[in-house]
C-alpha cells in the first residue's frame, strides 16, 4: 500500500511539473504572440484583424461560432485553448474548409435546403460562413436573403434549429431593461429589429419574422463589413393576426392577436429605453445610444409613426422607407443616363407609383427630396405634381378629400383600411378622378417611370405595359415587391410586352431575358442590399449621432454613379451583386462626409486621414486570427 501511494505521489508531482511547464510555455507563447501583434483593447474594428482575447476554453471555444475555427486551429492554439484532441489532428486551413462546405452546399437540391445548410454553418463557424458568402456573394445572396428568406420566414417555426438574436415578447413587459443584459456581447454596432407585421410582401408572420433581421445582418457583415460580434437581430413579438400561425402547434411566438394602439407604442418605448440602458452614449450632453437601430418590416402606419418618433432621439432609420427610397432613386437616376438624359432632368420625369404604403410613400419622398435638391423645382408641392400614386382602390384623385368620400380621409390614430393620412394626401391629384385604374392613368399621363410596391404579384397588366411602351422609347419598369412571386410583373413579361425596349429592375433577382432578335434584355436587382449596408457602415464608422435624409440622398447618388457608360447602354443600372462590398465602401464614404459636414459626429480625424481609407480599414474581413486565453495572461 505504501509503495502504491509513493508511486501515485511521484506520478502526481510529475504531472504537476508537466502542466506547469506546459502553462509556462503557453504564457510565453501568448506573450510573444501579443507583442508581435498590433493589439488594441479599444472598441476598434481593426482589433478583429489582429488577435482576439477570450475567457473561453475547451469545448466552449469549439461551440462558440464567433471563436470556432473548426479544423483550422494551430497546434499552439489547441494547447493554449485546451482543445488538443477535441478536433481531428490535421490542421486544415480555410481554403480547404471552403472546398468542403461548398461541395456539401452544392449537393443541396432546393433553395430552402441551401438556406438551412448555411444557417447551420453560421451557427458553428461564422468566420467560415462569411468567407464563403463573400466569395460566392452573387450566388448566395439570394439564398440568405430575398427571395429564399421569404419561404424560410414562412416556415421558420418548423425549421427552427438553434436560437439566434433576442426575442422581446408581450409577456416581457416590465422586464426588458434587465433582459438586455442577457446578450453576451458588450459591443453592439447595429441592431435590426422587426415586429413581423409586414414581412416582405408576405404579410403578418409574427415571430417568424426573425429570419429577416438575421438575413439583413448577414448582409451587413458580408457586404458592409460590420463585425459579426457587433450585430444583434431582434424580434418584438407583440402577437400575430395570422390565423394559420395562431392555430399551428409548432408556432414559437405569442399566441394572441397583435397589440395595437397605446399598448403597442408603450411596448416599443420600453424596448428602446432598455437598449439605451445597455448601450448608452453621451453626445453633446444628450443621453442617446451608440447603436444604430434599423427598423425592418413594420406595417403602415407603425413604420412611419416609429420613425417620426425616434429619428431625432436615437440613431435609427427605417429600411423599407429610407433604404428602399435610396436604391430606387439610384435606379431612376441611372436610368436617366441610360436614356441619354442628365440626372438633373429628374424633375421632368412623370412617375407612377403603384402602392401607397410605407415603402411606396418612402420611395416617393426620396424622389421628391432629390428633385428639390437639384433646384429645378422651387417647392415640394411642385415636385409632388410629378408623381401619381395609386393604392388598392386606384389613383389618389380629386374626390379623395371631398365631403362625399370620407372613407379615404384619415380617421384618428389608427388608419381605417381605404383611408389616407397626411403623407399620402400630398400625392392627391385634384385634376384627375379618384380611383382611376392603372391602364387609364397610363393612357392619360404617359408616364416615363412605373414603380410597383404593392406586395401583390401580377398587378402590372399586359395592357398597362404595352400602353406605356407606346409612349416611351425606353420605358422604365420597376416591379419592386419581394419575394419574386409577389413582383408586379416578371422580367420576361416586361421585355415581351415592350418588344424588348424596357429598362427593368426588380426587388428580387430575375434572370436576363433572351429577346426574339437574339439580343439580351438585361435585368437589374433594385434591392436594398445595395444601400443599407453602406449607409450603416458609414454611420458606424463616423459614429454619427443621427441618420439624416441627406445621407440617403448622397447614398443614392453614389450608387447611381457606379455603372459605366457601356453598362448603361446595355440597360445595366447597378453593378453585380458580387460588387456589393465595393458599393458599400463608396456609399459609406459619402455618408461619413455628410456626418462631418452636418456636425453629427464628434469623432476626430487624424491628421492626413482620408475618409475613404478610414472606411476601407474599418471593414471586417473574415480571416482567422490567433486566439489567446485570458487566464494564461494572469
Residues assigned a catalytic role: 145, 216
> Which cell is 570 given?
446595355
E strand residue ranges, 129-229: 166-169, 190-194
CA distance 184 to 381: 49
How, if at all, do strands 387-391 and 394-395 pair? antiparallel
CA distance 450 to 447: 7
CA distance 361 to 354: 10
Q: Which residues are annotated as a binding site for (S)-malate?
A: 198, 482, 527
CA distance 239 to 564: 48
What sign has the CA pseudo-torsion 205, 211, 217, 219? negative
E strand residue ranges, 9-67: 52-54
- Among residues 473, 453, 454, 451, the alpha carbon closest in space to that of 464 is found at 451
CB burial of 325-345 (b: ≥16 within 10 Å; e: otherwise) equals: bbbbbbbbbbbbbbbeeebee
| Residues making up the chain, counted from first to last | 634
CB burial of 476-493 (b: ≥16 within 10 Å; e: otherwise) equals: bbbbbbbbbebbbbbbeb
CA distance 513 to 517: 11
CA distance 311 to 317: 7
DSSP secondary-structure letter at 316?
E
CA distance 160 to 116: 9
CA distance 627 to 33: 10
Answer for the pair 144, 218: CB distance below 8 angstroms, yes or no: yes
- Among residues 592, 596, 582, 571, the alpha carbon closest in space to that of 529 is found at 582
Q: Which residues are annotated as a binding site?
A: 198, 296-297, 320, 482, 527
**DSSP labels, 210-238:** GHHHHHHHHHHHHTT---GGGEEEEEEE-
CA distance 327 to 51: 37
E strand residue ranges, 56-203: 166-169, 190-194
What sign has the CA pseudo-torsion 120, 121, 123, 129? negative
Q: Which residues are annotated as a binding site for a divalent metal cation?
A: 296-297, 320
Instruction: Please give the span between the terminal C-alpha atoms of the chain, in angstroms, as a whole number.
Output: 40
β-partners of residue 52 are 627
E strand residue ranges, 87-144: none
Amino acid at each position: 500500500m505504501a509503495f502504491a501511494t509513493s508511486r501515485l505521489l511521484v506520478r502526481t508531482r510529475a504531472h504537476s511539473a508537466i502542466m506547469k511547464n506546459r502553462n509556462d510555455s503557453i504564457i510565453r507563447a501568448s506573450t510573444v504572440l501579443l507583442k508581435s501583434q498590433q493589439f488594441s483593447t479599444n472598441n476598434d474594428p481593426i482589433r478583429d484583424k489582429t488577435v482576439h482575447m477570450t475567457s473561453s476554453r475547451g469545448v466552449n471555444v469549439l461551440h462558440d461560432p464567433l471563436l470556432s475555427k473548426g479544423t483550422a486551429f494551430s497546434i499552439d492554439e489547441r494547447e493554449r485553448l485546451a482543445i488538443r484532441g477535441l478536433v481531428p489532428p490535421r490542421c486544415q486551413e480555410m481554403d480547404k474548409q471552403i472546398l468542403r462546405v461548398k461541395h456539401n452546399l452544392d449537393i443541396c437540391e432546393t433553395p430552402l435546403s441551401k438556406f438551412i445548410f448555411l444557417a447551420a454553418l453560421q451557427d458553428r463557424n461564422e468566420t467560415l460562413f462569411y468567407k464563403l458568402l463573400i466569395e460566392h456573394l452573387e450566388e448566395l445572396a439570394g439564398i440568405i436573403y430575398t427571395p429564399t428568406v421569404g419561404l424560410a420566414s414562412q416556415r421558420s417555426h418548423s425549421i427552427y434549429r438553434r436560437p439566434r438574436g433576442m426575442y422581446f415578447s408581450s409577456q416581457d413587459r416590465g422586464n426588458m431593461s434587465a433582459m438586455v443584459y442577457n446578450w453576451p456581447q458588450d459591443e453592439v454596432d447595429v441592431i435590426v429589429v422587426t415586429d413581423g407585421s409586414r414581412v416582405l410582401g408576405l404579410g403578418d408572420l409574427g415571430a417568424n419574422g426573425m429570419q429577416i433581421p438575421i438575413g439583413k445582418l448577414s448582409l451587413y457583415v458580408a457586404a458592409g463589413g460590420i463585425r459579426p460580434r457587433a450585430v444583434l437581430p431582434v424580434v418584438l413579438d407583440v402577437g400575430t393576426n395570422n390565423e394559420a400561425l395562431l392555430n399551428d402547434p409548432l408556432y414559437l411566438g405569442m399566441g394572441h392577436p397583435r397589440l395595437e394602439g397605446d399598448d403597442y407604442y408603450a411596448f416599443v418605448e420600453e424596448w428602446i429605453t432598455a437598449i439605451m440602458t445597455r448601450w448608452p452614449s453621451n453626445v453633446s450632453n444628450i443621453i442617446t445610444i451608440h447603436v444604430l437601430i434599423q427598423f425592418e418590416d413594420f406595417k403602415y402606419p407603425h413604420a412611419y409613426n416609429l420613425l417620426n418618433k425616434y429619428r431625432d432621439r436615437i440613431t435609427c432609420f427605417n429600411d423599407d422607407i429610407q433604404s428602399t427610397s435610396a436604391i430606387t432613386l439610384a435606379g431612376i437616376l441611372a436610368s436617366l443616363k441610360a436614356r441619354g438624359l442628365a440626372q438633373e432632368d429628374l424633375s421632368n420625369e412623370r412617375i407612377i407609383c403603384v402602392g401607397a404604403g410605407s415603402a411606396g410613400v418612402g420611395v416617393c419622398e426620396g424622389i421628391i427630396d432629390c428633385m428639390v435638391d437639384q433646384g429645378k423645382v422651387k417647392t415640394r408641392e411642385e415636385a409632388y405634381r410629378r408623381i401619381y400614386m395609386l393604392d388598392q382602390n386606384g389613383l389618389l384623385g380629386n374626390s379623395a378629400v371631398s365631403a362625399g368620400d370620407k372613407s379615404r380621409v384619415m380617421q384618428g390614430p389608427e388608419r381605417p383600411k381605404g383611408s389616407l393620412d397626411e403623407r399620402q394626401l400630398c400625392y392627391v391629384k385634384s385634376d384627375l378622378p379618384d380611383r382611376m385604374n392603372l391602364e387609364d392613368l397610363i393612357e392619360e399621363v404617359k408616364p416615363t417611370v412605373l414603380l410597383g410596391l404593392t406586395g401583390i404579384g401580377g398587378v402590372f397588366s399586359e395592357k398597362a405595359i404595352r400602353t406605356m411602351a407606346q409612349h416611351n422609347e425606353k420605358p422604365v419598369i420597376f416591379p419592386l415587391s419581394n419575394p419574386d412571386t409577389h413582383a408586379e410583373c416578371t422580367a420576361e413579361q416586361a421585355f415581351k410586352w415592350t418588344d424588348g425596349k424596357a429598362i427593368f429592375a426588380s426587388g428580387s433577382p430575375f434572370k436576363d431575358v433572351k429577346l426574339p432578335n437574339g439580343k439580351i434584355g438585361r435585368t437589374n436587382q433594385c434591392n436594398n442590399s445595395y444601400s443599407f449596408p453602406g449607409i450603416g457602415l458609414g454611420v458606424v464608422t463616423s459614429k454619427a449621432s443621427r441618420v439624416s435624409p441627406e445621407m440617403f440622398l448622397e447614398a443614392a447618388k453614389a450608387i447611381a454613379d457606379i455603372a459605366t457608360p457601356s453598362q448603361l447602354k446595355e440597360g445595366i443600372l447597378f453593378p453585380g451583386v458580387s460588387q456589393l462590398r465595393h458599393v458599400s465602401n463608396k456609399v459609406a464614404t459619402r455618408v461619413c462626409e455628410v456626418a462631418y459636414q452636418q456636425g453629427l459626429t464628434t469623432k476626430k480625424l487624424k491628421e492626413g486621414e482620408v475618409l475613404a481609407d478610414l472606411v476601407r480599414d474599418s471593414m471586417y474581413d473574415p480571416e482567422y486570427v490567433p486566439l489567446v486565453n485570458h487566464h494564461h495572461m494572469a
